[in-house]
Structure 1
Amino acid sequence: MPDPGTAAGKANKAKKGAPGWARKGTLVLLVAVLALAVFGTTTQTWLSVTLDPAQAGQAAATREPLEVQGSDAATTVTALALVALAGGLAAAIAGRIARWIITAIIVLASAGIVTAAATVLADPSAAARGSIAAATGISGGSAQVAVTAFPTLAVVAGCLLALAALLIIPAGRHWKARTRYDAPGTAASATAAGPIDEIDSWDRLSRGDDPT
């Protein structure tokens, strides 16, 4: 039978030895910040369109540049950023298997963000076509389209978001198990590892043990 004192010592050593990047709060916050950064870029101007003066419409008559926000140039980026944000927050309370699923979802969302933003960079005229038609009432009109820095920032933030999501898997080994589905040891080892909180007490009660 393992010595409770030894088990507690190993648990405390593992807890102290966890690197800073593997802390749950740090990693979840990183994913949330990157997802919000991507979302923030979509609220800014991605494309600045100079319309042809010969085109009809009020926007063409004023000859003022038409500003196209990221949410209009790449509509999927906004939704995917929110998906990644929700996934990062869910990872904080998820179990081991659920963390794998959440990581895959965030990585796929990040890939979609990068792809959509890169598409705008590759063909800004096509991305602005809908906004030009809405402003002038003419489909397929000519215009000069200038790209701002925000699509590039979205690509960078999307790549960093994917890398941060991949850290969830190795970092999850250092996270304290909160349910019986994640706990690798017995009730005795869990007791030795530290004080019992309300969640641990409920799990022991569901197994038929008396936490008191």
Structure 2
Amino acid sequence: MPGGPRNAEPAAGQEGTPGKRPATPAWARKSTLVLLVAVLALAVFGTTTQTWMTVTLDPNQVGHAGAAQTALEVQGSKAATAVTALALVALAGGLAAAIAGRIARWIITGIILLASAGIVAAAATVLADPLAAAQGSIAAATGITGSQAQVAVSAFPVLAVVAGCLLALAALLVIPASRYWNTRTKYDARAAGGAAATSGPVDEIDSWDRLSRGDDPT
């Protein structure tokens, strides 16, 4: 009927209204991604506070210096010192990505990816040669370097590797997700085009940012 197409045209025109920001998918929300990166970075950090290895010393080798301590628990922060520092770097990077500009987000994403790669490499090194990773703790406890011992590895180094890989994947999501985020600087606003750059906030972080600039999001 003639009335059908005329009724459909306004609906199609409303859907294609120029300048309307597309709905933000749940996975691309800034608060969701920032929280995900923070949780994964804290998870990596948390593993380093736990026992990664239990070392059983040989009393015949350590002699009187280690006779009182034949079982030694080694925390992740001692077995892989770099993991602790890199987890904090990734955490800071995730928080910074929430307020960074477009170019800065690329840089921060690269930093988080490098930190994630370092976390995985350091934890994997412990898994590959736990005795070598425990030598520093053995020497501190007994005063003897190069000791032979039996080393039992816990699940925490594996969890650090898994969390590090997930952290890298979360960092990779920042770039495509940032297309849905409001711009952070006047330079981004010019690039995106005035009206689109000043559209309303899509999440709580944007609301706080606008309040800090003196704008009332309500």
TM over 0.5: yes
Paired position in structure 2 for 1:61: 68
Corresponding residue number in structure 2 for 1:140: 146
Q: How does 1:179-194 map to 2 (within 5 A)?
A: 179-183=185-189, 184-186=192-194, 188=195, 190=197, 193-194=199-200
**What CA distance in whole angstroms lies between the structure 1 residues aligned with 2:69 and 2:119?**
34
Following TM superposition, by how much is the alpha carbon of 1:59 offset from its aligned partner in structure 2, in angstroms?
3.9
SS in 1 for 2:41: helix
Superposed CA offset, 1:82-115 (max 9, x none):
0000000000000110000000000000000000
Tell me the equivalent position of 1:126.
132
Alignment check: 8 A CA contact 2:93 2:108 kept: yes
1:25 to 28, 31, 35: 31
Matched residue, 1:175: 181
Shift of residue 178 of structure 1? 3.3
Q: Which residue identity lines up with residue 56 of structure 1 in the other structure?
A: G
**C-alpha contact (below 8 Å) 1:7/1:189 kept by paired residues:** no
Q: Assess if the C-alpha contact under 8 Å between 1:72 and 1:131 holds in 2.
A: yes
- Check if 1:93 corresponds to 2:99: yes
Rounded Cα–Cα distance in structure 2 between residues aligned with 1:160 and 1:109? 12
Pair 1:108 & 2:111 matched:
no
Structure 1 residue 43 corresponds to structure 2 residue 43: no
Distance in 2 (alpha carbons) for counterparts of 1:60 and 1:177: 63
User: SS of the residue aligned with 1:49?
Assistant: strand
Distance 1:189 1:128, change over 3 A: closer
| Mapped partners of 1:201, 1:185: distance in 2 | 21
- The 1:189/1:35 distance shift into structure 2, 3 A limit, reads closer
- Give the aligned length: 189
Q: Does structure 2 retain, via aligned residues, the 8 Å contact 1:50–1:66?
A: yes
Contact 1:121 1:151 in 2 (8 A): yes
1:201 CA drift (Å): 6.8
Q: 1:141 to 1:194 in 2, by over 3 A?
A: closer
The answer (yes or no) to whether the contact 1:87–1:106 under 8 Å persists in 2 is yes
Give me the CA root mean square deviation. 2.1
**Structure 2 unaligned regions, length at least 5:** 1-16, 202-206
User: Where does the alignment leave 5 or more consecutive residues of structure 1 unmatched?
Assistant: 1-5, 203-212
Aligned CA distance change for structure 1 residues 62 and 107 (closer, same or farther; 3 Å): closer
Change (3 A) 1:52 1:102: same
